[in-house]
Amino acid sequence: MSPCGRTDEATKTTTLDRTPKDTADDEESGRYTFLPGRPRWHGRTLLTYAVSTTATVEYIPLSTVRAVVRTAFARWADVIPMRFVEADRLYNDNDPDITLGFHPFTGGKCAGCGTSDGYDGAKTLAHSSRPMQGWIHVNTAWRWTVNLDVDMDPSAYDLESIVIHEIGHVLGLDHSTSLTSVMYKSFDYRTKKIKLNIYDVLGIQELYGATRYFSFKSYFKQELLRHNQRQEEEKRKRSFWRRGLAYILPSGIAS
Ligand SMILES: [Zn+2]
Ligand SMILES: [Zn+2]
């Protein structure tokens, strides 16, 4: 079990650990879970967000980070009746509901909020608040990338995948035991996981309801097609073996 700060009640933070894989994956329970106390952005249908213009990494242009964050929010907005709007477009005078920035976690302490993650070295990838606070701090110690095809760094982490995960926390989701969930508790380098799985959708919709015309059938169309194809394939294999046995049995096995 990888250590994870999501139960860090004192500071109300959740931490995405970088442990690549958890072998004792429990597929039976907790396919989606909520943060302790089941917090959510009650009564809200629009949340504003902002990407810090100062807490950045020099190797990714700010405009690119903003584009990635916009896409990440949009993936959640696809399934729940919540709009996410970049703050400076609408509310110049108000504080944004959610902020995102890159911060060093020197000596295990996040420079963005002063929270200690309990690790001496750089182990935390990112951490985030629960509703109705709204912040996401990404650890500058890691190499972040917005394009794994171009960035050949052997230990680069996909920024969009991590931001999607952290937004899930900010909206009230805790970790999932489903390996394909964007809320799975650990995350591999050089992998991209940006599509909400069935448990992500069920969990977030339990908190906020479904978008008006949401249909599981069309949202998971590709998955369903693949699933059906696999079943067809299985069926074909089974009938092949049945036919095969029919030939073998009468003469091959006498008694
Ligand atoms: Zn997490
Ligand atoms: Zn922090």
pLDDT exceeds cutoff 50 at 12: no
Distance from Cα 137 to the centre of ligand 2, integer Å = 5
The DSSP code sequence of 78-139 is: TTSS-EEEEHHHH-SSSPPSEEEEEE--GGGB-TTT--B-S-SSS-EEEEE--TTS-EEEEE
% of the chain beyond a pLDDT of 90: 64
Q: Which ligand is nearest to the CA of 5?
A: 1
Question: Has 120 been labeled as part of a binding site?
Answer: yes
Distance from Cα 216 to the centre of ligand 2, integer Å = 35
Angle at 237 between CA 236 and CA 242, to 5 degrees: 95
pLDDT per position as a tens digit, 108-152: 888 999 888 766 556 789 999 999 999 999 999 999 999 999 999
Q: Which ligand is nearest to the CA of 184?
A: 1
pLDDT exceeds cutoff 70 at 14: no
Q: Which ligand is nearest to the CA of 164?
A: 1
Q: Contact 49/166 with Cβ under 8 angstroms? A: no
> 243 pLDDT band (50/70/90 cuts)?
confident
pLDDT for position 65? 98
Identify the weakest region by mean pLDDT among 20-34, 104-118, 233-247.
20-34
Distance from Cα 95 to the centre of ligand 1, integer Å = 25
% of the chain beyond a pLDDT of 70: 80
Round the average pLDDT of the chain to a whole number and report it.
84
Question: Has 42 been labeled as part of a binding site?
Answer: no
Judge whether 166 counts as a catalytic residue.
Answer: yes
Strands 83-86 and 46-51: parallel
pLDDT per position as a tens digit, 81-115: 999 999 875 555 678 999 999 999 888 888 999 88
189: nearest Cα among 232, 234, 141, 134: 141
Distance from Cα 250 to the centre of ligand 2, integer Å = 72
Question: Has 22 been labeled as part of a binding site?
Answer: no
Distance from Cα 162 to the centre of ligand 2, integer Å = 15
Catalytic residue among 86, 166, 206, 233: 166
How far apart are alpha carbons 182 and 204 in whole angstroms? 12
pLDDT for position 239? 81
Between 44 and 117, the more confident residue is 44
> 4 pLDDT band (50/70/90 cuts)?
very low
Question: Has 137 been labeled as part of a binding site?
Answer: yes
Identify the weakest region by mean pLDDT among 23-27, 57-61, 213-217.
23-27
pLDDT for position 47? 96
Strands 135-139 and 124-128: antiparallel
Identify the weakest region by mean pLDDT among 14-23, 56-65, 238-247.
14-23
Question: Has 183 been labeled as part of a binding site?
Answer: yes
pLDDT for position 91? 53
Question: Has 121 been labeled as part of a binding site?
Answer: yes
The mean per-residue pLDDT over the stretch 25-52 comes to 86
Distance from Cα 152 to the centre of ligand 2, integer Å = 28
Q: Which ligand is nearest to the CA of 13?
A: 2
